[in-house]
Amino acid sequence: MSNFTHHLFATRAFAARILRANATLTLIVLAVLAMWQDGLSEICTNLRKTGLLLNDLSSSGRIIGGEVNTIDLIGIEATRRFAPSAYQLIRKSSALLTYGGNSWTKGRYVSDKRREKESREFFVELENRIAQSAAPGAIRSILSLLFPAFVQATKEDTSVYSMVRPTDENLADREKRICDSDYFPIYFRAAVPAEMFSEAELSSVVERLNTVTSEEAGDRAFKAVLDGIPPNHPKRSDFLWKLGRAVRVRLKSDVAEWLAYIAASHATDYAYDLVNIGEAARALNIVYESAQRPQRSPKTGQ
């Protein structure tokens, strides 16, 4: 890591001035500057490399733009381009890098001892792969801005990175950060568009559901989409997750209430992991989101 970020936060007075200003905008600018100075400037050392990264961002932006955090997208795409081996390991390791990655409802659950062992082995292997890249220090700086877990595990300057990109589980969710277990997989679907349920497809489903006049009609619309995607396919889980997030803000109240029963009635159709997660957890979230809305009847809240 260069001295740039350390110089920015060398004094408490400087940090205090940041917080008195427009904190959100200021921290976004500082995060971008830190990613450039400590990471990208060490990687994009000529026009060819810069052009390759810009092309990657243009392609991924067309697919998942608006669904993810822009700074995190830049960071993970830079990792994919310039440290592909580390990227592939990260892609498979949500549980060790994200908030909610070790829970019954948002990912998986393992014992503390097993998780500690897996985490230790994972970060050793990740460091080995980072070391194989052309600019290991730059990749470490980028990952430190993306994943608080990386900072803690690798003994990077925790106080510095927590100032540049302060976060917690709720903030990570609001900002669509890659360190949130729900948003994490979206960042990697840009490389595999077939695994995504697109916004156009979701809008079509929402529009269709909002026109139904009965629970039975809603069930037919829901089942048509569910059956059209093979079980265990990532796109199926993505469909259920995105539909769950649409319940509160995009569906009519009566449709949202019907959808809770519809999603629950298809319990035997979902793919289950070892601890009943994956598709089943996404469907359960539809029921949960519906229950948060004012109901016309007391049934959904029971």
Residues 235-261 have pLDDT tens digits of 898 899 999 999 989 999 999 999 999
Q: Following CA atoms 137, 139, 142, 147 in sequence, which dihedral angle do they give, to the nearest 10 degrees?
A: -110
Structure tokens at 196: 């995504």
Helix spans in the chain (H)? 4-8, 12-20, 23-35, 41-43, 47-64, 70-82, 84-91, 94-97, 112-131, 136-146, 148-154, 158-164, 169-174, 184-189, 199-209, 215-227, 234-250, 253-265, 279-291
Q: Can you give the pLDDT at residue 162?
A: 66
Q: How much is the average pLDDT of 155-177?
A: 78
Residue 277, judged by CB atoms within 10 A of its CB (0-12, 13-18, 19+), counts as buried
Q: Can you give the pLDDT at residue 161?
A: 65
Question: What proportion of the chain, given as a percentage, has pLDDT over 90?
Answer: 48
Look at 138-147, 243-252, 267-276 and tell me which has the smallest mean pLDDT: 267-276
Q: Following CA atoms 30, 35, 38, 44 in sequence, which dihedral angle do they give, to the nearest 10 degrees?
A: -140
Structure tokens at 149: 């877990």
Instruction: Output the CA–CA distances (angstroms, integers) from residue 26 to 30, 69, 74, 182, 260, in the order listed.
Output: 6, 16, 18, 26, 41
**Cβ of 279: how many Cβ atoms within 10 Å?**
26
User: What's the predicted TM-score (pTM) here?
Assistant: 0.67
* Higher per-residue pLDDT: 47 or 62: 47
Q: Can you give the pLDDT at residue 27?
A: 63
Q: How confident is the model at residue 277 (pLDDT cuts 50, 70, 90)?
A: low
Q: What are phi and psi of 99, to 5 degrees?
A: -70, 135
- Identity (one letter) of the amino acid at 74? I
Structure tokens at 167: 């976060």
CA 60 remoteness from chain centre: 14
Report domain extents, the chain.
4-192, 197-291
Over residues 76-134, the pLDDT tens digits come to: 999 999 999 999 999 989 989 998 755 544 444 556 777 788 889 999 999 999 999 99
Q: How far apart are CA 31 and CA 302, in angstroms?
A: 45
* Higher per-residue pLDDT: 144 or 4: 144
